[in-house]
Amino acid sequence: METVRLAYRDVDRLPVIHCIKEMALQHYGIDVRVLQIKDYGEFESALFTGAADVLIDHVEFLYKEAAKGKKVTFFCAPKIVRGLELVVPKGLEELEEFAGKTMAVRGSGRPHAINLWLRMVGMEDKVSVVIVKDDEVGRWGQWKKITSGECIASFIDPLYVSDALQAGLKVLAAPDIPVVGHYAQACTSDFAREKSSLLRSYVKAVIHALCLMKYDKPEALRIVSGEPMKRMSIDDPQVMARHFAAIVEKLQVKPYPTPEAISNTYEIAVQEYGAAGINPMTLWDLHWVKELDDEGFIDGLLKNTEPR
């Protein structure tokens, strides 16, 4: 049986990862060995030290490595929006009310994206931004700066928004920014070239997992209620189901990026990692996804998966 060593940092990724692992084993004869690498430096170097074959997570740092001459291949993008919730005080109804105010922004996870979002909604020169680290307020606790009166809004991951709502805040509907999300996957170009057949089968498993999560939720929940639920320190199946629903909502079964998502991701990489001087399109190789799409593989999966 062929093997793919899949590395990740954040346990929030595990529902998607374990569905990929299960589909790879059941249908495509691949043993996906899941590796958590918590240390930033070790994770960012894992492809180049031989510690992992594929990375799944935020991958902007790889543009920096490419700018330094390393050969990197991005091959799928299951999520092409940030997928965060805009949390504000009750009574606030319009984005225009942000003018002259300050937004609290998480210090990790692409903080430059808030500048892109403010530019997109025409508020770039009207709203101030303050970086608030998790160390100060707890994981995704930037909403506390709203309840304290210091800030007018903050983007919060849907998996962590319930505490903000219980504190009396609300979610304000707002346009999302196109960006290559944190289920994008990458490998070295050597791996892509030398293991092309394996990577094609692995991409099948990824797409199969996305289809399962979107359209056969009982079976997907069975998978994620095992090891992922345990590793995420969740005891209540209903809480796990809410986490699952928040993840699934933004996934796309045909994992193509968009030019806008690539452009925004590249700007983030330039601003946060100094990755200037490359054509970001040269890092993407979508021929495995396109071949499977053209051959009807994806549509066939969709046809044979009865929504439940």
Q: Do domains 2-80+180-304 and 85-171 have the same CATH topology?
A: yes
C-alpha 265: how far from chain center = 12
CATH topology of domain 2-80+180-304: D-Maltodextrin-Binding Protein; domain 2 (3.40.190)
> What are the domain boundaries of the chain?
2-80+180-304, 85-171
Is pLDDT above 60 for 308? no
Write the pLDDT tens digit of every residue in 231-283.
999 999 999 999 999 999 999 999 999 999 999 999 999 999 999 989 999 99
CA separation, residue 103 to residues 107, 122, 124 (Å):
12, 15, 11
Is pLDDT above 80 for 60? yes
Is pLDDT above 80 for 84? yes
Return the pLDDT at 305: 77
pLDDT confidence band for 292 (50 / 70 / 90): very high
Is pLDDT above 90 for 123? yes
Write the pLDDT tens digit of every residue in 201-236.
999 999 999 999 999 999 999 999 999 999 999 999
Rounded CA gap, 235 and 17, in Å?
A: 20
Residues constituting the chain:
308
Q: What is the mean pLDDT of the chain?
A: 95
CA separation, residue 147 to residues 90, 97, 167, 168 (Å):
11, 17, 8, 8
85-171: in CATH 3.40.190.10: yes
Give yes or no for a contact between 4 and 53, defined as CB atoms under 8 angstroms apart.
Answer: yes
pLDDT confidence band for 58 (50 / 70 / 90): confident
Adjacency order of strands within the sheet including 54-56:
30-36, 2-8, 54-56, 185-188, 72-76
Is pLDDT above 70 for 306? no
Is pLDDT above 80 for 197? yes
